[in-house]
């Protein structure tokens, strides 16, 4: 009999390195990870692939999915809906995959109410000053957006107590090693 997988919720403030760390974690086949594919009402970009980057749907379809309780979580952002389809995640878990859900804190709260045995990991910067330095280093946003991201980070950091694990991202290598150890322990505990 195939062992079921589990859901991994991975959150942290913008600019803390979630995307980079997720890419590194997928290099470890023994973690048996599957990436959660979100659903959205925003337009598909030319380089995006249906079912890989997102499931693209129109607004009435998304609202019907909400009404039928087919999402683990959803939010509206800049006029578009984004959400995590329940069926896709549960299918992957049934196949024995450990589904990695990189998600903001409000969505994580919704998911944890529905999937109580999910493993939740909150990634934090060594300090708000270091986070500011990293975001500034990107040189990708105007000052007003940067300040908004930092203010949101300051609001999100106290929510780390809602998570099973908190990992400080001093370096990508250290954070990846720590999260890999956490996931290996969770896998071993579920056998």
Residue 2 has pLDDT above 70, yes or no: no
Tell me if 12 is assigned to a ligand binding site.
yes
Residue 41 has pLDDT above 90, yes or no: yes
Tell me if 125 is assigned to a ligand binding site.
no
Q: Which helix (H) or strand (E) element contains residue 175? A: helix 172-189
Tell me if 18 is assigned to a ligand binding site.
yes
Domain 7-190 has what CATH class? alpha beta
Where do the domains of the chain lie? 7-190
Burial group, residue 173, by CB count within 10 angstroms (0-12, 13-18, 19+):
exposed
Tell me if 51 is assigned to a ligand binding site.
no
The pTM of the full predicted model, rounded to 2 decimals, is 0.86
pLDDT in tens, 48-105: 889 888 899 999 999 999 999 999 999 887 788 999 999 999 999 999 999 999 988 8
More confident residue, 135 or 33: 33
Tell me if 96 is assigned to a ligand binding site.
no
Reference 180, options 106, 98, 107, 104; nearest CA is 98
């Amino acid at each position: 009999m195939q062992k079921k997988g589990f859901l991994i919720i991975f959150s942290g403030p913008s600019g803390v390195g979630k995307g980079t760390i997720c890419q590194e974690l997928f290099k470890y086949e023994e973690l048996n990870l599957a990436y959660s594919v979100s659903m959205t009402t925003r337009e598909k970009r030319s380089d995006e692939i249906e079912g890989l980057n997102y499931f693209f749907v129109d607004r009435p379809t998304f609202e019907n999915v909400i009404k039928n309780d087919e999402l683990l979580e959803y939010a509206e952002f800049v006029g578009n809906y984004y959400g995590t389809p329940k069926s896709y995640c549960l299918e992957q878990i049934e196949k024995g995959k450990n589904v990695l859900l990189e998600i903001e804190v409000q969505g994580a709260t919704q998911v944890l109410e529905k999937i109580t045995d999910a493993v939740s990991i909150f990634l934090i910067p060594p300090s708000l000053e270091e986070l500011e330095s990293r975001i500034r280093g990107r040189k990708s946003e105007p000052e007003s957006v940067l300040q908004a991201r930092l203010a949101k980070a300051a609001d999100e950091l106290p929510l780390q107590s809602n998570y099973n694990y908190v990992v400080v991202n001093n370096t990508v290598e250290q954070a990846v090693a720590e999260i890999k150890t956490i996931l290996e322990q969770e896998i071993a505990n579920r056998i």
